[in-house]
Structures are given as C-alpha cells and as structure tokens.
Amino acid sequence: MAGQTDNKTEKLLAILKLQPVVPVLIVDDAKSAVGLARALVAGGLRAIEITMRTPAALDAVRAVADEVEGANVGAGTVLNARDFDAAVKAGSTFIVSPGSTPGVIDAAKASDIPTLPGAATASEVMTLREAGFGVMKFFPAEQAGGAAYLKALSSPLAGTLFCPTGGVSLKNAMDYLSLPNVVCVGGSWVAPKEMVSAGDWDGITKLAAEAAALRG
C-alpha cells in the first residue's frame, strides 16, 4: 500500500499522544519561535505544529528543531511535495496537510517522516485509508460538522483516528477528546497573537498547562 507504513504510523501516534492539544502556530517572526516553543514545552505541550503560511515558517521550524529541548516540531499547511521536502530538511519530525493530493501522498511515501493528511468527508477518509493512512487531520473541524459528524464516522470507518483542527477551542475541545476516534485536537488558542507579539511567555505557558490538563 502507498502512504504510511505501520512504523511511520507508530511514530506519528507517539508524537500525537504526547498531549491532548497540539498547538497550531502561525509564526511571523522566526526570532520569536524559540521563546514561544519553550513556553509551550514548559506548559506540557511538546508536539508543536508551525504552519507554512508565512515566509518565516521554515526558519522557525529550523530554530525550534535546533534549539528547543523536548520539542517535537512539525510543519503544517504543507500543500505540495516541494514544501514537504523543504519542511523535512528544516527539521520537521512530522508533516501536516489540510487535505491530500497525489503529490503529497507520494512525498509521504518516499519520506521517513510521518504525515498527518487532512480529510473532511467520508469519501476523503476512505481514499486516504486505501492509500495506507489510518491517522488523519479532520479539517476544518467545526465547519465540516464538528464533533457530532466525527462521532458519526466512528462506526462505519472504525479504526481510523483523527486530530480535529479548525474552530477547536478550550470550550469545545472535550467534545472531541471524549470521542473514541480522536487521538488529540489541534488548536491555536494556546498561543494568542497578542501574547506572542508581547513576548508573554509566562502567559502562554499557563494556557499550555491548561490545555495539557485536558483529558479525553
């Protein structure tokens, strides 16, 4: 089968199971990435997704991978094989995509780095399962039907695990984490833009600790 081997799936699950919430970060300044990542790790969130949405993203991944002890940094919003390869070279320990394309799946197959591909419909989940993926990002979670939709998938698509992302917050995180097919959630609320801009690392550590205490 194409896609993810059992070994890569185990590597991915080992990262995702470190915590109930994976911070999803948009980093505008690579210089702030190290302080931000250290604050998140101090709060108990060691798996960190830096999205490839800004020019600073690759430098941020590289800095966190090189300088932040205890962090498992991944690259998110990976849209093609070129970005996949660049993220891996920067030091990403996992790759996240909002959806899936043949190019991304081929890149995942050729790499030793595990991938969390995105799916929003039953057909997309089935397609990824046929490609060898058993763990997926459910995105955009709230807009695609929320926890009720994901619960409905748990029986016909048994054995598939999800990391819901998109519209997930402290208020609704447990709606997802209580589901049998959810391994963790992704969220940006643990690193508010204003706190990052102000360098309020203590405040972010408190938010991270609050998120880390959530349990499904």
Residue 40 burial (CB < 10 Å; 0-12/13-18/19+)?
Answer: buried
> 77 in the Ramachandran plot: left (φ > 0), alpha (ψ -120 to 50) or beta?
left
Largest CA distance in the chain: 47
CATH number, domain with residue 77: 3.20.20.70
Domain count along the chain: 1
User: What pLDDT score does 185 carry?
Assistant: 98
At 114 the three-state DSSP class reads coil
- pLDDT, tens only, 159-208: 999 999 999 999 999 999 999 999 999 999 999 999 999 999 999 999 99
Closest CA to 74 of 91, 94, 99: 94
Is 194 among the domain residues? yes
Rounded distance, CA 60 to CA 110, Å? 24
User: What pLDDT score does 1 carry?
Assistant: 45
**Where do the DSSP E strands lie in 120-168?**
135-138, 161-164
> Quick check: 180 and 13 in contact, CB under 8 A?
no
Q: Check the CA dihedral 5-96-215-144 and report its sign.
A: negative
pTM value is 0.96
Catalytic residue list: 49, 137
Is 24 among the domain residues? yes
Residue 186 burial (CB < 10 Å; 0-12/13-18/19+)?
Answer: buried
User: What pLDDT score does 215 carry?
Assistant: 78
> Quick check: 92 and 73 in contact, CB under 8 A?
yes
- pLDDT, tens only, 31-42: 999 999 999 999
Is 197 among the domain residues? yes
User: What pLDDT score does 2 carry?
Assistant: 58
Is 56 among the domain residues? yes
Is 100 among the domain residues? yes
- pLDDT, tens only, 134-153: 999 999 999 999 999 999 99
Mean pLDDT within 100-126: 97
Is 47 among the domain residues? yes
Is 1 among the domain residues? no
Q: How confident is the model at residue 4 (pLDDT cuts 50, 70, 90)?
A: confident
Residue numbers of the domain that contains 63: 6-212
Average pLDDT, the chain: 96
Please determine, for residue 216, whether its predicted confidence score (pLDDT) is greater than 60.
no
